[in-house]
Chains A and B, each alone.
Chain A
Amino acid sequence: AQSVTQLGSHVSVSEGALVLLRCNYSSSVPPYLFWYVQYPNQGLQLLLKYTSAATLVKGINGFEAEFKKSETSFHLTKPSAHMSDAAEYFCAVSDLSGGYNKLIFGAGTRLAVHP
């Protein structure tokens, strides 16, 4: 079975500092991997996705993530944090069992950005 582990339920950074949100996955087959952002009482917005093309994936709002098969990781980074980046971030892996595209989510990481 596939699973996702997000290390650190809370991450706090200063405005302008590097953002690093960690995600490790477990999968017996090549996975699709996603990062989503959620603002309070809202749905999920896709930041970026890895679908077995380039291992370094660039997303919206300056975020990027690198797929490292040897480390089974898909960490999310942003060079310089902005106050508007404060939100909940979810890493997800695609479970293609049964021919359906459904997502298995990590527990989430709450990012706080302080002045």
Chain B
Amino acid sequence: GAVVSQHPSWVICKSGTSVKIECRSLDFQATTMFWYRQFPKQSLMLMATSNEGSKATYEQGVEKDKFLINHASLTLSTLTVTSAHPEDSSFYICSASTDMNTEAFFGQGTRLTVV
């Protein structure tokens, strides 16, 4: 099956710093990648949709300048949490899909802790 890899799996950073999370499709070309956020014991909330070579589409209430998304190639999308604060601590999960596929393949997630 299709494999999506996220890196890092977990990261701890100081308040005010920026953190970059990578999402890679290892064996297929992902036209579209999605970024989700999951608070403890809660469901996944879609943050944004990114398409290769174009600007990401953010969901309502998600700050574009705080959560920078770049989808520079068909196998890589990055999420950068800028000027992170403790309230940004969460589990971030990406998924990737192609136009021809009805299934979105998920990465293993990244646990971000801001101290």
Q: Which residues of A contact B6 (CB under 8 A)?
A: 43
> How many residues belonging to B are interface residues under a CB distance threshold of 8 Å?
25
Number of A-B contacts (CB under 8 A): 56
Report the minimal beta-carbon distance from B98 to chain A, rounded to whole angstroms: 9
Asked if B43 and A108 make an inter-chain contact with CB atoms under 8 angstroms apart, the answer reads yes
User: Which chain A residues numbered 60 to 100 have a C-beta less than 8 Å away from chain B?
Assistant: 90, 94, 98-100
Query: Of B49, B57, B102, B107, which is in contact with the most chain A CB atoms at under 10 Å from its CB?
Result: B102
Using a CB–CB cutoff of 8 Å, the interface residues on chain B facing chain A are: 6, 32, 34, 42-46, 49, 51, 57, 91, 93, 95, 97, 99, 101-104, 106-109, 111
Name 28 interchain pairs, CB-CB below 8 A, sorted by A. A34-B103, A41-B109, A43-B6, A43-B106, A43-B107, A43-B108, A43-B109, A44-B44, A46-B103, A46-B106, A49-B102, A90-B43, A99-B99, A100-B32, A100-B49, A100-B51, A101-B97, A102-B34, A102-B46, A103-B34, A103-B44, A103-B46, A103-B104, A104-B46, A105-B43, A107-B42, A107-B43, A108-B42
